[in-house]
């Protein structure tokens, strides 16, 4: 389909526990954005409570959208389309965000785009200025977050080939569970990284699941169990700060080495698919971890790849990436019908091509 010149795009993200809105101009520049974290709402429960998340999205989104549009200096009629995460994620939150986007689209006769949340992560690298000279297709994506851990060949908008993924826990999920074992609360990932900074990463020889095996699948459940056993060797309440820091550091380096090894295999697989490929994009919350970034950078350098991770604020869930994915699709003339139903499960390599009317 012919590329279309479009106007600014409004993006809405509500797939889990961040309520986010952003407006991008037709070139992908951020005109305004906002993210509301529900961390304090869910922390007492040690994880995201779907009903609480959905109610929080419903309470926050209307005013957040109004404020973001105001800061962008736009009226709804100035928009070229509205994009919202439609899956995968918590169905209550997806319904809230999707219905809000559809209501705006109906009221102002705007195109609607149902965005696959994983595709939004996958395309973030193509935002203007993130990669010097741009991020042409194809490239390799390593998506590492609380809910997802997979290697994907990104061959074009709507064109994705899953090369490997986790067979049990995602990396971010493992970080959160180990953080909970160490008494760090939820979410555990950022707190664990801070604690690990004062720890000895060589004190505990934790396993490196799947290391050097063919392919690029992941497994973190055995590593998590090994950490639980190390913590269990200390009587309740007797785990010192230094002991906890050493466990955190040893766990963190194990995860980083596993991710680097698996990504190395994925890079080799990408080179077989397209010898000219040289870009490794790392996205998702775990991409904010400094030890992980360093390990992946070294592995990429050794294989002639360039490792790029978005700014930390764009690693976690945000609406900038949703608006950008919507913009990429609108440029191709791809929109969605208003009866498109949100999907709690929506694999990136399934049904991501053109889905609706031009």
Q: How far apart are CA 319 and CA 122, in angstroms?
A: 14
DSSP code for 26: T
Quick one: pLDDT band at residue 1, thresholds 50, 70, 90?
very low
Cα separation of 54 and 344, whole Å?
Answer: 13
Q: What is the mean pLDDT of residues 189-200?
A: 95
Tokens 């020889």 identify what position? 205
pLDDT at 2: 43
Q: For the structural domain made of 137-309, what CATH number should be given? A: 3.30.420.40
pTM > 0.85: yes or no: yes
Beta bridge partners of 149: 144
3-state secondary structure of 93: helix
Tell me the average pLDDT of the chain. Answer: 93
Lowest mean pLDDT among 1-10, 213-222, 333-342: 1-10
Percent of the chain with pLDDT over 70: 96
The pLDDT tens digits of the residues spanning 18-77 come to: 999 999 999 999 999 999 999 889 988 888 999 999 999 999 999 999 999 999 999 999
Which CA distances in Å does 11 have to 14, 23, 148, 320? Answer: 10, 6, 22, 7
| CA gap 245, 130 in Å, rounded | 34
Counting beta carbons within 10 angstroms of the beta carbon of residue 347, is it exposed (0 to 12), middle (13 to 18) or buried (19 or more)? middle
Nearest to 318 by CA among 73, 31, 3, 37: 37
Give pLDDT, residue 348: 85
Angle between helices 221-232 and 171-181 (to 10 degrees): 10
Report pLDDT digits (tens) over 67-120: 999 999 999 999 999 999 999 999 999 999 999 999 999 999 999 999 999 999
Label the pairing between strands 279-283 and 306-308: parallel
Q: Average pLDDT in the 280-290 region?
A: 92
pLDDT of 258 strictly over 70: yes
258 near 218, Cβ under 8 Å? yes
pLDDT at 128 over 80: yes
CA angle in degrees (0–180, nearest 5) for 209-213-218:
45
Residue 63 CB partners (closer than 8 Å, separation 6+): none
Topology of domain 9-124+314-331 in CATH is Nucleotidyltransferase; domain 5 (3.30.420)
- Residue 156 belongs to what H/E stretch? strand 149-156
Residue range(s) occupied by CATH 3.30.420.40 in the chain: 9-124+314-331, 137-309
Listed residue (113, 45, 108) closest to 327, CA to CA:
113
Please give the Cα distance from 354 to 126 (Å, whole number).
19
Q: Does the CA dihedral 94-313-40-169 come out positive or negative?
A: positive
């Amino acid at each position: 389909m012919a590329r279309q010149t479009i106007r600014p795009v409004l993006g809405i993200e509500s797939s889990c526990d961040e309520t986010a809105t952003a407006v991008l101009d037709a070139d992908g520049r951020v005109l305004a954005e906002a993210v509301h974290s529900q961390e304090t709402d869910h922390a007492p429960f040690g994880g995201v409570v779907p009903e609480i998340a959905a109610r929080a999205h419903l309470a926050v989104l209307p005013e957040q959208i109004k404020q973001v549009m105001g800061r962008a200096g736009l009226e709804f009629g100035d928009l070229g389309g509205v994009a919202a995460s439609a899956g995968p994620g918590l169905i209550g939150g997806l319904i809230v965000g999707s219905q809000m986007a559809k209501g705006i689209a109906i009221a102002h006769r705007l195109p609607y785009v149902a965005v696959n949340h994983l595709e939004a992560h996958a395309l973030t690298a193509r935002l203007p200025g993130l990669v010097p000279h741009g991020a042409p297709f194809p490239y390799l994506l390593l998506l590492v977050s609380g809910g997802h851990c997979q290697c994907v060949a990104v061959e074009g908008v709507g064109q994705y080939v899953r090369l490997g993924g986790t067979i049990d826990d995602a990396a971010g999920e493992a970080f959160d569970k180990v953080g909970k074992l160490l008494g760090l609360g939820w979410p555990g990932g950022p707190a664990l990284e801070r604690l690990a900074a004062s720890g000895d990463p060589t004190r505990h020889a934790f396993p490196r699941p799947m290391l050097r095996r063919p392919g690029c699948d992941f497994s973190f459940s055995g590593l998590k169990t090994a950490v639980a056993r190390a913590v269990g060797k200390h009587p309740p309440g007797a785990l010192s700060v230094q002991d906890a820091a050493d466990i955190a550091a040893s766990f963190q380096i194990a995860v980083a080495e596993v991710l680097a090894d698996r990504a190395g295999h994925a890079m080799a697989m990408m080179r077989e698919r397209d010898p000219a490929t040289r870009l490794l994009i790392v996205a998702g919350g775990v991409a904010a971890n400094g030890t992980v970034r360093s390990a992946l950078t070294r592995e990429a350098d050794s294989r002639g790849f360039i490792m790029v991770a978005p700014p930390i604020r764009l690693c976690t869930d945000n609406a900038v990436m949703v608006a950008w994915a919507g913009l990429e699709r609108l440029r191709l003339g791809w929109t969605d019908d208003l009866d498109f139903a949100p999907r709690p499960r929506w694999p990136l390599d399934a049904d991501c091509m053109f889905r609706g009317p031009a």
